Chains A and B, each alone.
Chain A
Amino acid sequence: MKKGFIVLIGLLGLNLSAQGAPTPLPGVRLNDLRLLPVQSGGRLKPFDEFARETLLAITGSRSYGAFDPSETLVSMMVDPKGWADEKIIRISVPEVNQQLLLEPGRKMFSPNELFSSNAFLQYAEGIRSGGKSAEQVTGTGINAVSGKKDPRGEELRRVVDRVERFQAIVTGALWTLTPPSGSDTDAPWKTFAEGMVTSNPQVEIAGAMLKCYLDRQAECVQEKSAMLRDAVEKSVPAFSSVENKLKAEVWYNRLRPFLQAMIFYLFAGLFWLFASRHAFPRMMAKFLTFSAVFLHVLGFLLRSYVADRPPVTNMYESIIWVSLGVMVFSFLLYRKNRQVVLMSTACILAGFSLFAGDAAPLVMDPTIRPLVPVLRSNYWLTIHVLTITLSYGAFMLAMGISNVSLFQFVKIARRGDTPELSQRVASLNQLSYRALMFGTVLLAAGTILGGVWADYSWGRFWGWDPKEVWALIALLAYMAVLHGRYAGWVGRFALPLWTVICFSTVVMAWYGVNFVLGAGLHSYGFSTGGQAFVASFLLAQTLFCLMVAWIHKRNPVTPAAEA
């Protein structure tokens, strides 16, 4: 395992004299390095994105400390020994610490700490030799003997992968540097390590740049990286068609529009709370909301432009779209009702959704990836998925408003059913009912469009696939509520209560099928993680509902007020 470690050092002839921990090079401008084209993960991307994805895969975060992501990779290549002592390898499952006899409770370890663990070396060997010897670890995270999901085995495999990826960076085996000489845009590029064997201009310039970095000469690094960018760009087939996309992607990465939108949303939500009484908070709230939505839409468009498709193919992307949906519906409803509590709820929901999307990049991978073959029908994919996830936005808004409505019943139980509270409940329920209507129409349409898409590309309108079945279950659940309301069984208390409960079917259709059930044809979206987070959300909702229902039952409101 340690062998591969020394290769780069020998090949570049760099004498390593790392003094202490690696530090960023002050005053270096990295623009050219960031924009350097790299072929990785099945598409062409800027070095900046390549660096962020690599760091995510190693450390579980898209950047490391005070370093710029691109600089981190360069620094790793010139100072492997220094980085081998940095705590950069993440272990997220505590049982793995135990298994590898590592310090319990810690999440980050240095490569050297792992190399000095015999247990780790043995497991790594076992995993490489096909997963038969070491605890039956397989690539799918599923135990080959029991057929069960095996989070510990999966994490162990990931830890080995993280270490190997670090080694691959250090040895230049991961950095695709030299485009093929032909005009075939799909041909694989040569990596830095491969290029060193035969030597070519790109490799020579890259080596010179690394040397400058080792000597800590900022100017020289800038000069060489500009040369390198030029040399690579020249040999990329049809580069002019992708040039702007690379620039947009770097901008998107550095701007982090969704993170900014999230902060704006959360502040806007706070200001909306006070907006009914004073003019200044209202102004602020409006300004913040518009800024947030602007950033949100900008990010959405940038991402669509970079990926060449609307961002709706995994959990992370759907969160972006659903939270945008929440805002759209809140605007539609606000235009009529002018309820500040609606905007406050919507902003907080959107803010928290974006936060959840941003908080766990290992669970919800923000990486832009090429589509799997079944999804390559942009038109129907777009229509079907956008419609269905938009309905989730409507249901989420209805859920938020209904929670506020339920909260009014706690007040009613305490203060009695004042006309003011009664009026507020009525208007809140009206809002969530509207949102429910939006949602059910969109969900019905989206589910049917899913059938149309399936019929169009697989010849099967409906195949009882778990994802489509859960969309149907959510639809049926909301249908039952709407019909119940029509029949007069679902009153002013039951409506918000059931709206909140029914949202769990949306959670199941949206998250549960992919992350919990893990069965069926929509397997391209399957993943693990986040169970604790989602479960605690559902648990908190259930407890809240039970509590309110109990309070409501203990203080029966007079039938006259109920009607």
Chain B
Amino acid sequence: MRESLSRIFESIWRVLISLKLAVLVIASLAVTLSVATVLESLHDAKTAQYYVYRAAWFYGLLALLGLNILAVALSRLPWKRKHTPFLMAHAGILMILTGSWITYRDGLDGSLQVSEGEINSAVELDQHVLVMKVNEDVRTVPFDWMPAPVAEKFSGKVFPEFGIRVDQIIPDAEPRVRFVEMPGTAVEKSAPAVQVKIIGAPMGGAPEFWLWAGDAGWSSQKLGPARFLIRKEGRQDLEALGFPSGEARFDFVASEKGALSFESVSVRGEKKTGKIDLSKLKPGSPPLILEPGWKMPIRIQLKAFLANGANRTDYIPVKVKPQGMGTTIPQPAIRISLLENPESKLWLGLGDRADFTSQDGVRRLIGYYPKRVVLPFGIQLDRFELKHNPGTMDPAAYSSFVRVVDQIKNPAELNTPPVHHITMNEPLENKGYTFYQASYIPEIPRPVTTILSVNHDPGRVLKYWGSILLILGSISLYLVKVVQRKRKVEGTS
């Protein structure tokens, strides 16, 4: 029994120290990696990471390479002087692999976004979490991204401690807002909403949009020289809203009782009001057209009216591959439902949160966020600077002037710490964290928000020494070959 076991070990050992395994592992790494880059080209970096670079089997392959190298090195025991270059090169690779493993396990690689005059210490990572807040108790649980083919097969995941179930995930999603009629008793914020279609607009096409009185961003829409608006009866006066006069205005006015009328003002200030017969909105009836009485040949079709409308954000998958900087990268979205009420479905895009009251009357807050790590100190941005190439708008260099703020809660000390200048190749180091100038948020007239990449890498030293050993080792391997050959030539001649 013991004999056969040792025989098995011996044959495993023989495989491990074989060059055949080395060549096989090297070749399969090369093939795997080339597939991964094609995957990245066809989809995106996240997909390549999911299937290859962050996949367990890939780490296994790297581990096998390390094991192979270690075994080969040990098989040369006892080491002699002639083994030095070989050992150096291979120990270098082992150190780089180990260092990378340490980086992967204990390292931190995220980004920190700070605007001028503000302080931030929350580093965002590219992992995602679900956050649940009940009263003051905050708990997080990882919920990572997955590519579309995996997401299609995703059959839901229950988080019993949160009382929710994630039903669906869209890896690359785009928000779509729709409005629904709420029952009058609902706690959720509701307000009148109309869906309109503008016919005969000078810019061509027939724009269609929603107006909703529940939010300033939704209540008005400017279209060429005309502005369309919805408001509750008796709330705001036309001029009081602060919109410039000289605009043509068309206001929908909703009364408390659920009736709807309109008030329109032309560019010249001519007013017109009218009641809207909502019974004409019933399905099957001809389109409900409103004449604003302007000189422009514009008519307004009222397509829907909700007396107690609330907005709902749905997410739909997008196919467009993100290209370069500046284009918005699609974010993932999840649909969750409450375990106690499976009919309650809710979409959360990355960065969204929702609150609800469960049956026991406890208010809960659920969020879907990038994972955050809070640093033991804060970074304050004094100034962001962007320089252009002469005579162009192409950025030539950008840099941030920051301060390290230790006591975030004590604003009295804000101005005492010294200013550090972080440029493209001049990072700032503090307490083991390094801050690099990574990017910025483009704004007009000038950007004021910097994006720093934050890094904490305990494997760095090992990687650097490994690199040095590897290079020195391979150079001496080469030199030894040259010397050997010289001796051989001298020996034969």
Contacts and interface: CB of A to CB of B under 8 A. Distances in A.
Given A473-B33, A480-B27, A519-B41, A176 B424 contact: no
Contacts of A373: 395-398, 424
A265 B457 CA distance: 49
Interface in A462-497: 462, 464, 466, 469-470, 472-473, 476-477, 479-480, 483-484, 486-487, 489
B26 A140 contact: no
A69 B20 CA distance: 61
Given A44-B390, A458-B438, A486-B19, A377 B425 contact: yes
Nearest to A43: B390
Given A373-B397, A487-B23, A523-B324, A459 B481 contact: no
B98 interface: no
B29 A476 contact: yes
A16 interface: no
Given A140-B323, A370-B396, A484 B23 contact: yes
Interface string B379-401: 00000000111111011111000
Contact of B475 (A42, A441, A505): A441
B100 interface: yes
B19 A483 contact: yes
Contact of A473 (B30, B390, B396, B434): B30
B37 A461 contact: no
Interface in B427-475: 427, 434-436, 438, 453-455, 457, 460, 463-464, 467, 470-471, 474-475
Contacts of A484: 19, 23
A281 interface: no
A73 B273 CA distance: 63
Interface in A372-389: 372-374, 376-377, 380
A476 B396 contact: no
Contacts, number: 165
Contact of A455 (B319, B391, B396, B460): B460
A9 interface: no
A460 interface: yes
Given A457-B436, A469-B33, A42 B45 contact: no
Interface string B23-51: 10011011001101110110011001100
B218 interface: no
B406 to A, nearest CB: 22
Nearest to B474: A441
A186 interface: yes
Interface centre among B109, B425, B454 (most CB of A within 10 A): B425
A228 interface: no
B138 interface: no
B396 A147 contact: no
A520 B325 CA distance: 11
B48 A459 contact: no
A374 B424 contact: yes
A147 B319 contact: yes
Interface string B467-491: 1001100110010010000000000
A270 interface: no
B420 to A, nearest CB: 15
Interface string A517-538: 1111001000000000000000
Contacts of A513: 37
B388 A186 contact: yes
Contacts of A437: 478, 481
B388 A448 contact: no
Given A457-B425, A476-B27, A519 B40 contact: yes
B105 interface: no
Interface residues of A, number: 66
A40 interface: yes
A105 interface: no
B20 A487 contact: yes
Given A377-B425, A483-B22, A473 B457 contact: no
B470 A444 contact: yes
B387 A186 contact: yes
B453 A458 contact: yes
A222 interface: no
B320 interface: yes
B75 to A, nearest CB: 14
Contacts of A516: 41
B139 interface: no
A479 B389 CA distance: 43
Contacts of B460: 455, 461
Interface string A278-319: 000000000000000000000000000000000000000000
Interface residues of B, number: 60
A457 B438 CA distance: 9
Nearest to A456: B425
B143 interface: no
B424 to A, nearest CB: 5
Given A377-B424, A461-B460, A142 B323 contact: yes
B255 interface: no
B30 A459 contact: no
A518 B100 contact: no
A459 B453 contact: yes
Contacts of A380: 425
Nearest to A455: B460
A145 B38 CA distance: 22
B103 interface: yes
A189 to B, nearest CB: 6
B391 A518 contact: no
Interface in A340-392: 370, 372-374, 376-377, 380
Interface centre among B37, B103, B464 (most CB of A within 10 A): B37
A134 interface: no
A487 B24 CA distance: 12
Contacts of A330: none
Nearest to B478: A437
A372 B396 CA distance: 6
Interface string B206-246: 00000000000000000000000000000000000000000
Contacts of B34: 470, 473, 505, 508
A231 interface: no
B178 interface: no
B37 A42 contact: no
A440 interface: yes
Contacts of A458: 436, 438, 453
Interface string A416-440: 0000000000000000000001101
A517 B30 contact: no
B53 interface: yes
B275 interface: no
A188 interface: yes
Nearest to B486: A336
Q: Which 6 A-B pairs have the closest CB atoms?
A: A42-B389, A459-B455, A487-B19, A517-B41, A377-B425, A188-B391
Given A186-B390, A477-B30, 4 more contacts: A140-B324, A187-B390, A451-B467, A464-B45
Interface of A: 39-44, 140, 142, 144-147, 176, 185-189, 370, 372-374, 376-377, 380, 437-438, 440-441, 444-445, 448, 451-452, 455-462, 464, 466, 469-470, 472-473, 476-477, 479-480, 483-484, 486-487, 489, 505, 508, 513, 516-520, 523
17 contacts: A142-B321, A188-B390, A380-B425, A445-B471, A448-B470, A458-B453, A461-B100, A461-B103, A461-B457, A462-B100, A464-B49, A464-B53, A469-B36, A473-B37, A480-B23, A519-B40, A519-B45
